[in-house]
Structure 1
Amino acid sequence: MRLPGESFCRTQLPRVSRTFALNIPLLPGPLDLAVTVAYLLCRIADTLEDEAPGALQGPLLDELGELVCLGPDWESRASSFARRAGLALRPEVPEAEAELVARTLTVLETLAALPSWVHPHIARCVRTMTGGMRQMQRLYGGDSQVMGLPDLQATFMYCYYVAGVVGEMLTGLFIAGSSSVAPRQERLAPRALAFGRALQLTNILKDVREDLDRGSCWLPRDRMSAHGLTPATLALPGSRARAVALMEELVAVARRELDAALEYTLALPADEPGLRLFCLYPLFFAVMTLNTLEGNPAVFDPTPVKMSREAVGMLMQLTQERVASDDALRALYAECSRAQAGVAEWR
């Protein structure tokens, strides 16, 4: 029997994320629906961060962080939130994201219908994320978008708030949902943050031009300054050589985080292939994405640099074939880390 709002959540997922629409269905139930709901709630927060003005963004993020706790009168408060949040979004917001914000109540109804062991993990994640976004905006943005962070530590802090905390949530859900994962908690917990940081840092690097065009930047100012750059000059044609050198430096940082993410994935039991593949897909997509970014001046052009659909399909097949073998996965990771992926249409 389907839960309230379940059909909307499952249908909306591929409209707002191609990547996670591929790996979330691999999870066993009810984890698949729990992670779908968690992703959609995080995406609502992300949409507010990207598409709402700074002066309105903070209070809306605070309110979303409270709503996920499902406190008194949460249904009517969620309806009011959705109306006000929708009015705050800029006109150019993608249609699917605007619809998701408008259906916040539906997503929360699905959360409320999930098993009780799911709730605290998702609530903590969304509250930490929205609070962290609010803090980063207050510290570095004021009433405008954030245009560069002071240093790599601040960039990592941002990555924690928007992705590292998701790694913590997933680990908690995996442990609560699978008896074979619980004994591995000591191996998983220390690596959960790196898994989230690696994926987020990869996204920041991949989307650097898109973020600049939107009026924001999450790269460290001290590393930009070391290459004679600022957010205002980063994408200028005359800065290409210096910008590529900066990108190579930050890609190396992301690769170190991905090394830890691989160890996190291999700490999951081989007899839980769905959990492993859930992590393997975005991990290997990130590896190949970094290959497309390294030494590539096109990352600073308006047209996004993306993996080809063929490369995505190949990685899915290769990881499926090797999912139960740590040695085979390590070898594939090493091979992909040395490869050069083609640039084509993927996001």
Structure 2
Amino acid sequence: MGVVVNDDIDDLLRRTSRSFYLSLGTLPDQIRNQVGLLYLLARVADTIADTGENPELLIGMLDCYAEAVQGKSDDIDLNSIADLQENHDEGVLLKSVSEVITAFTCTEDVDRELMLRCLLVIISGQRLDIERFGTKSSEIGILESDEELDDYTYRVAGSVGEFWTEISLSRLIGDESLDVERMLRLGIRFGKALQMINILRDIPSDLSIGRCYIPKDRLSERGLGPSDLLNPDSMSSFMGLYSEYLDLACDHLDCAEEYISIIPRRYRSLRLSCLLPVVIGRRTITLLRGGNVLAPGEPIKIGRRSIGLILLQCKLAVRSKWYEKRLLSAGRLVSTRE
């Protein structure tokens, strides 16, 4: 894989991006660096938003970061919060933010404009998170409605699906007669699918930092509040609503599959980079349906060995239309409620 920033920062990308790095490694050369660089830029914003207990300070740092990436200021120093990171790699990333921004400013104008537009939407989502929830606290903040949830998933992930589509069309498949508006709409749903799965998998860890992304009005309909989700025994009461949100994630993944079907089959690498998170997402939903997500301990997730097998299956699928159809059909079957 080509160099995104430099060898050291690229190694950080590998260590901090987890399963996303698999998709990144399968991307075509024409767009791999832009997607990888956007990930690093977004990870900086996410790390800022999740650090410390002073919301005003974090909002100020996010605003300074937004100004720096827009070229309005070159005064960006995140060392004070870098030292607070429990994850060493994230601390190093914050200390290296100037190098990441420099790499960003050296990209071509068209690419930089697309990345910046997406990044500012992501930063707005992180900023809104701090305004809503504050920082790590014993008091649990909560979203009010499905509309707020949908807005949040767009800002932090749907916008990435939008960018992914725009950069792919700009750099790779722009000469094809494709329905751009349809692809953009489906790309947004693709991003929302992956974020919904994260939210539905990470309920205990989000609650531990005072954040509940399951809307208040939907919990109230079932006589529940956010504090009830701290009790694993509440799963029986929560399961109906939880299943509805898993169904929503499946609906979003249906759009992701439609998105993949639009990409001409000769763009194997691009199709592979999209197919991989869809298959992983379906299998994660299957595990979430069968477990108690409120139980403490390790989050429900697919093991590394299974991820390796899925990657192999996806590589075969992009070479065989029949096998791809079979793989996706099997995923829909096991992830959808009977």
Letter of the structure 2 residue corresponding to residue 175 of structure 1: L
The yes-or-no answer on 1:292 pairing with 2:287 is yes
1:161 paired residue number:
155
The yes-or-no answer on 1:12 pairing with 2:12 is yes
Aligned positions of 1:50-61 closer than 5 A: 50-53=50-53, 54-61=55-62
The yes-or-no answer on 1:174 pairing with 2:175 is no
The yes-or-no answer on 1:83 pairing with 2:83 is no
Q: TM-score, normalised by structure 1?
A: 0.87
1:213 paired residue number:
208
Aligned positions of 1:93-112 closer than 5 A: 93-112=86-105
Displacement of 1:182? 5.2
Q: Secondary structure at the match of 1:301?
A: coil
Stretch of structure 1 that moved more, 127-136 or 259-268: 127-136
Q: Distance between the aligned counterparts of 2:192 and 2:284, measured in 1?
A: 15
Instruction: For structure 1, list consecutive stretches of 5 or more residues without a partner in the other structure.
Output: 341-347
Displacement of 1:4? 8.3
Displacement of 1:55? 2.3
1:117 paired residue number:
110
Are the aligned partners of 2:115 and 2:163 in contact in 1 as well (CA < 8 Å)?
Answer: yes
Q: Identify if the C-alpha distance between structure 1 residues 313 and 335 changes in structure 2 by more than 3 Å, giving closer, same or farther.
A: same
The yes-or-no answer on 1:68 pairing with 2:69 is yes
Are the aligned partners of 1:288 and 1:336 in contact in 2 as well (CA < 8 Å)?
Answer: yes
Q: Distance between the aligned counterparts of 2:211 and 2:4, measured in 1?
A: 37
Letter of the structure 1 residue corresponding to residue 163 of structure 2: M
Aligned positions of 1:100-249 closer than 5 A: 100-138=93-131, 140-142=132-134, 147-180=141-174, 183-184=177-178, 185-249=180-244
What is the RMSD computed on CA atoms of the aligned residues?
Answer: 2.2
Q: Identify if the C-alpha distance between structure 1 residues 302 and 215 changes in structure 2 by more than 3 Å, giving closer, same or farther.
A: farther
Are the aligned partners of 2:158 and 2:187 in contact in 1 as well (CA < 8 Å)?
Answer: yes
1:301 paired residue number:
296
Q: Identify if the C-alpha distance between structure 1 residues 298 and 67 changes in structure 2 by more than 3 Å, giving closer, same or farther.
A: same
1:344 paired residue number:
none
Are the aligned partners of 1:247 and 1:295 in contact in 2 as well (CA < 8 Å)?
Answer: no
Q: Distance between the aligned counterparts of 2:209 and 2:190, measured in 1?
A: 27
Deviations 1:5-64 (A, max 9, x none): 332332111211211111102222242111111001111111122224322221222222
Q: Secondary structure at the match of 1:93?
A: coil
2:278 paired residue number:
283
Deviations 1:269-302 (A, max 9, x none): 2111111111111111111111110142155323
Q: Distance between the aligned counterparts of 2:262 and 2:45, measured in 1?
A: 30
Q: Distance between the aligned counterparts of 1:181 and 1:135, measured in 2?
A: 38
> What is the number of residues matched between the two proteins?
330
Displacement of 1:105? 0.8
Are the aligned partners of 1:68 and 1:123 in contact in 2 as well (CA < 8 Å)?
Answer: yes
Displacement of 1:228? 2.2
Letter of the structure 1 residue corresponding to residue 62 of structure 2: L
